[in-house]
Amino acid sequence: MKKVSKPRNLTTPLSQDVIASLRAGDECLITGEIIGARDQAHRLMFEMISRGEELPFELSGSIIYYVGPTQARPGQIIGSAGPTTSSRMDFCTPLLLSMGLKGMIGKGNRSEDVRRAIVKHKAVYFAAPGGLGALLGGCVVSSTVIYGEELGPEAIRLLSVEDMPVVVVNDILGGDMYEDGKLLYRKVL
């Protein structure tokens, strides 16, 4: 039986020492400020960078959460805030990593180009539990649209989170929790 370990508490921005210590499969709780941005926001960021414009947030050391939250009900800070499929942001991710992005949160596999860029730029990819958008929305203590309000739920947001549960999928050594899981499954068969 596998020993259950306590999740690691991480605070943003992530230091290079913390990133270097993370391994695929590590369970973590993130507290601090992260950027919420998904498909349309990434297209907008890519266009801004292509035109030589500055992004509306500090990219260096940041974590981007691939999320498009639902509208908040009365008394809520944010609605459901589950992760979206990360591969839809793969077209832009190596560029953002080269500019200082240090972490991403989403769901699903990343392309080979993104996995290589994670190793090269010493970053980390976390998975948030899909299907638990209400729980994840409850981890958000503040949400502010910082750019692209016309994009609605896909606007770029500054999110403050407390104890947001994630697991490391890809680490700086090339570890890949999804690939490790496949190997373990094959051994069991």
Domain boundaries, the chain: 8-188
Query: Per-residue pLDDT for 38 more than 90?
Result: yes
Query: Per-residue pLDDT for 184 more than 80?
Result: no
Q: How far is CA 91 from CA 3, 53, 109, in A?
A: 38, 19, 14
Say which residues have a Cβ less than 8 Å from residue 117's Cβ, sequence separation at least 6.
93, 94, 97, 98, 123
**pLDDT tens track for 83-106:** 999 999 999 999 999 999 999 999
What is the pTM for the complete model shown?
Answer: 0.93
Residue 5: per-residue pLDDT = 76
Query: Per-residue pLDDT for 116 more than 70?
Result: yes
Q: Which fold has domain 8-188?
A: fumarase (3.20.130)
